[in-house]
């Protein structure tokens, strides 16, 4: 690690540094795969304690990051994501304690059966191996990702944004302390000690086969780069272009409440709704109150002429609005022909993330849930529930919209694979 | 027209052809995702009947392929894999009927739970979408892959080897007939109608996002090309370098029987053992009888001096033998230091496919099953059980050694993803 700190950041040095990190992660993974639940939970608890003890140190490191960001003119939501305070550190500590309380997925028997020849076959969960995480400014991802990886028996390589480097390193030191307290390899959770961007490139190439999966957390340009260049599997989503469909049989008060929450609770998260679809069958009764509710809450509403006719404050929408993720207090609104129209619109413009139907009609709900091809489909609930914590998974590494392996919130189970254990009594296979 | 331009146009033609095939597959997939189990099973049964009715036509088409292969000097195992007869056609028909009898994985509720806020969350199986299969000379893969894909609600694009083109097309015609009899889109199962190799390249690029996963079935050079060039996920394995470890506490008769079956039942399949590891603790009693059993059955045994000392017929092994997949009546034999030595050897040289331990010592068996990082690990049973049919999955698309999504035999369940269906009563997420 001393050598690592001395590097002069040439490409060859970064390549060698990352290769070492990969080798160490792989060695740690092989120990972690057989670590006991008790040891892992002891480490998580020790990490939480250490975060609380080191609050002053972490806040001092964070102040350096914040000052540097302010000096380069960063402001608003970026600074908000970067800034730590005592409450946020306490929340990180509690998150680790919550992960400690989750069931250990490793060794879990997913299925077992016996064959007519007496072979007993069991499908048993095993860790994936080594997780690589590439994230941006939020320092708390360091603790969440470290904790979830450890619980699922995986080694992890963390590559945070250069703007949060000091904060992430201070948090990482607490995680490493917890690992050593529990007698687990400190290299189970490593943080890339350089902000050289070529380190990301090396991770995307997989570090000579050391990395089993990459999880990107951040904006669209980061995800695009990762999806484009990664030579290893990726759990992630490019965007969350989430829809709320208000069906003709929707209760108006419920529709208003869900649309408002889905859009405005937090506008910058991936589960925030970006388009409201309204059944033409209830346009005369539901459209105007829905739009008013949103606009009165400070949301800009964009729509075509029929929507503009309902409220003078509606801004004209263009074709580009249907495929735009605002991540802001803006929503596009469109009339559709019933549940079929909603399904078609979502198939054409959606991002397979999260969509909700509001309706009292069970058949319409069933059709929507069955046929909308998204990771999460909800009936009579807000799209903002798209979250591992809300699903009861304790925490999440992120949300995946691909159909391979993980889909939806990525929690400890999604960070595992499985193997088949077959127990016999001397069986050989007949010709 | 100069030659270069003409080649470009041919390439462009194949590209356009494959792009059309991809579009049709995607459209079919969206219909298949909601096809009833009854319709899918009716199609499978109609396909089986049609194969039997069209036996003469299929055998005539196969005779054309066989004659062409013979004229280019093909022989031995290649011709054996290519050649059809009435029994093999009947076996294909029965395979489809067996797939019809499997439970339909689509719509299966994998897990469900209720949150404290009343949200009911269900994890429900859905098809992956479009499967692309690239295989070599065995015409029966056409029926197996078509049947498994249909049962799991996926559209499939089949690209067989040019040597089996006529046979595959004749079989495919029966599958298409079965689909139409059941009112399902015939484009659910498409076969690439050109032997132009650039068609494979187009499939590996994913046909504009139409293909969700590629399954390669064939030799190492095919798999290497697919793993190298594919821009979509791949379910497969490069090689099956399977090990049998005979522990010090192994019953000698059981060890002989399992080692013999694991190597010699069929030498050309991926689950055939390539290396026999023998615990040094039982070398004096077990080594010589094990080697004699294999050599007497016609197997060449390769080993270092200690192994050669046990039987004069043992051939000298080199380092390369430990990582060579013979797929032939040859086995390498090595002494190791107990279960730890076996685990280390397999970690260094294995292909994460299938390994077996023979022992009467439960602790040694548990350590081996837990710590050998392979898709399938067996205790007191032959590695040749590495097969979807033997696992009770009805049939298999192949065996995967990656840890993402599918691992081990790829059956109908492994050809599915899942979605979260969330049912509420108006819940919104608190700030």
Q: Convert the pLDDT of each residue in B305-346 to its tens digit.
A: 999 999 999 999 999 999 999 999 999 999 999 999 999 999
Q: CB contacts < 8 Å between A and B, how many?
A: 182
| Chain B residues in contact with A417 (beta carbon < 8 A) | 403-404, 407
B215-241 residue pLDDT tens: 998 888 899 999 889 988 999 888 999
Select from B376, B403, B431 the Cβ nearest to the Cβ of A422.
B376
Contact by Cβ (8 Å): A189, A155: yes
Asked whether the predicted pLDDT for residue B2 surpasses 60, the reply is: no
Question: What pLDDT is stored for residue A12 in this prediction?
Answer: 75
Q: In this predicted complex, what is the ipTM?
A: 0.92
Are the Cβ atoms of A420 and B392 closer than 8 angstroms?
no
Contact by Cβ (8 Å): A345, A336: yes
| Chain A residues in contact with B369 (beta carbon < 8 A) | 421, 423
Rounded Cα distance, A310 and B209, in Å:
39
Are the Cβ atoms of B420 and A258 closer than 8 angstroms?
no
Are the Cβ atoms of B382 and A115 closer than 8 angstroms?
no
Task: Judge: domain A2-235+410-421, CATH 3.40.605.10.
Answer: yes
Question: What pLDDT is stored for residue B268 in this prediction?
Answer: 87
Select from A254, A424, A428 the Cβ nearest to the Cβ of B426.
A254
Residue B137: pLDDT band (50, 70, 90) is: confident
Closest-CA residue of chain B to A108 = B370
Cβ within 8 Å of B, A 45-64 = none
User: Where exactly does CATH 3.40.605.10 map onto chain A?
Assistant: 2-235+410-421
| Chain A residues in contact with B260 (beta carbon < 8 A) | 428
| Chain A residues in contact with B429 (beta carbon < 8 A) | 261, 265, 382, 384-385, 387, 390
Question: What pLDDT is stored for residue A9 in this prediction?
Answer: 52
Residue A313 phi/psi, 5-degree rounding, is -85, -5
Q: Say whether residue B22 is in contact with chain A using an 8 A CB cutoff.
A: no
User: Where exactly does CATH 3.40.605.10 map onto chain B?
Assistant: 13-235+410-420
Rounded Cα distance, B202 and B157, in Å:
12
Task: Judge: domain B13-235+410-420, CATH 3.40.605.10.
Answer: yes
Residue to test with chain A: of B109, B396, B429, most A Cβ within 10 A? B429
Mean pLDDT computed over every residue of chain B? 94
| Chain A residues in contact with B112 (beta carbon < 8 A) | none
Closest-CA residue of chain A to B232 = A233
Check residue B170 and give left, alpha or beta (phi > 0: left; psi -120 to 50: alpha): alpha
The CATH fold of domain A242-385: Aldehyde Dehydrogenase; Chain A, domain 2 (3.40.309)
Asked whether the predicted pLDDT for residue B1 surpasses 50, the reply is: no
Question: What pLDDT is stored for residue A5 in this prediction?
Answer: 44
Q: Say whether residue A284 is in contact with chain B using an 8 A CB cutoff.
A: no
Q: Say whether residue B390 is in contact with chain A using an 8 A CB cutoff.
A: yes
Rounded Cα distance, A127 and B185, in Å:
40
Residue to test with chain A: of B112, B120, B212, B381, most A Cβ within 10 A? B381
Query: Running DSSP on this structure, what letter comes out for residue B103?
Result: P
Parallel, antiparallel, or unpaired for β B109-114 and B120-127?
antiparallel
Cα B340 to the center of its chain, rounded Å: 30
Which tokens is B65 given? 């392929």
Closest CA to A55 of A25, A10, A85: A85
**Mean pLDDT per 10-residue section of chain A, whose length is 431 residues:** 45 90 97 96 98 98 95 85 94 94 95 96 97 90 95 97 93 98 98 91 95 91 90 89 98 98 94 98 98 98 96 97 95 98 97 97 97 97 95 87 93 95 97 87
Select from B126, B265, B392 the Cβ nearest to the Cβ of A115.
B392
As separate numbers, helices (DSSP H) first and strands (DSSP E) second, chain B gives 14, 16
Which tokens is B259 given? 């080692």
| Chain B residues in contact with A418 (beta carbon < 8 A) | 407
B351-381 residue pLDDT tens: 999 999 999 999 999 999 999 999 999 999 9
Taking the alpha carbons at both ends of chain B, their separation in whole angstroms is 69
Residue B8: pLDDT band (50, 70, 90) is: very low
Are the Cβ atoms of B417 and A427 closer than 8 angstroms?
no
Residue A338 phi/psi, 5-degree rounding, is 65, -165
Question: What pLDDT is stored for residue A20 in this prediction?
Answer: 97
Question: What pLDDT is stored for residue A10 in this prediction?
Answer: 62
- The pLDDT of B173-179, averaged and rounded, is 98
**B431 to chain A, closest Cα gap in Å:** 6
Cβ within 8 Å of B, A 97-136 = 107, 113, 115, 119, 121, 126, 128-129
Question: What pLDDT is stored for residue A354 in this prediction?
Answer: 98
User: Where exactly does CATH 3.40.309.10 map onto chain A?
Assistant: 242-385
B253-294 residue pLDDT tens: 999 999 999 999 999 889 999 999 999 999 999 999 999 999
Q: Greater confidence, B13 or A137? A: B13
Q: pTM for this one?
A: 0.91
**Helix H or strand E encompassing A41:** helix A37-53
| Chain A residues in contact with B268 (beta carbon < 8 A) | none
Question: What pLDDT is stored for residue A238 in this prediction?
Answer: 86
């Amino acid at each position: 690690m001393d050598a690592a700190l001395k590097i002069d950041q040439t490409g060859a040095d970064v390549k060698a540094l990352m290769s070492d990190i990969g080798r160490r992660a792989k060695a740690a993974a092989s120990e972690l795969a057989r670590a006991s639940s008790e040891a892992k939970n002891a480490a998580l608890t020790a990490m939480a304690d250490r975060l609380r003890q080191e609050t002053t140190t972490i806040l001092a490191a964070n102040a350096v990051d914040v000052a540097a960001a302010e000096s380069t003119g960063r402001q608003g939501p970026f600074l908000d994501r970067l800034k730590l305070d005592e409450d946020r550190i306490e929340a990180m500590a509690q998150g680790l304690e919550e992960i400690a309380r989750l069931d250990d997925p490793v060794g879990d028997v997913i299925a077992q059966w016996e064959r007519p020849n007496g072979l007993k076959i069991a499908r048993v969960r095993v860790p994936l191996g080594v997780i690589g995480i590439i994230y941006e400014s939020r320092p708390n991802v360091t603790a969440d990702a470290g904790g979830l990886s450890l619980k699922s028996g995986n080694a992890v390589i963390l590559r945070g944004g250069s703007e949060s480097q000091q904060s992430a390193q201070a948090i990482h030191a607490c995680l490493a302390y917890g690992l050593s307290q529990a007698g687990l390899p400190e290299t189970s959770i490593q943080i890339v000690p350089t902000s050289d961007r070529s380190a990301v490139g090396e991770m995307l190439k997989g570090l000579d086969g050391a990395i089993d999966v990459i999880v990107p957390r951040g904006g669209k340009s980061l995800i695009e780069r990762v999806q484009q260049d990664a030579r290893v599997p990726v759990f992630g989503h490019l965007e969350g272009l989430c829809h709320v469909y208000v069906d003709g049989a929707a209760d108006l008060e419920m529709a208003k409440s869900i649309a408002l929450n889905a859009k405005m609770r937090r506008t910058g998260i991936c589960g925030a709704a970006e388009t409201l679809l309204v059944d033409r069958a209830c346009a005369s009764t539901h459209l105007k109150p829905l739009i008013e509710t949103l606009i009165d809450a400070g949301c800009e509403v964009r729509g075509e002429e029929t929507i503009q006719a309902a409220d003078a404050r509606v801004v004209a929408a263009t074709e580009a609005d249907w495929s735009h993720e605002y991540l802001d207090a803006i929503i596009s609104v469109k009339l559709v022909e019933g549940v079929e129209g909603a399904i078609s619109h979502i198939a054409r413009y959606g991002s397979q993330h999260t969509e909700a139907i509001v309706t009292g009609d069970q058949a319409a709900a069933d059709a929507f849930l069955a046929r909308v091809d998204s990771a999460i489909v909800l009936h009579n609930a807000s799209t903002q529930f798209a979250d591992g914590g809300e699903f009861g998974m304790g925490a999440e590494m992120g949300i995946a919209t691909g159909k391979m392996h993980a889909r939806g919130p990525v929690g400890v189970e999604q960070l595992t694979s499985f193997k088949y254990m077959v127990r016999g009594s001397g069986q050989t296979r007949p010709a």
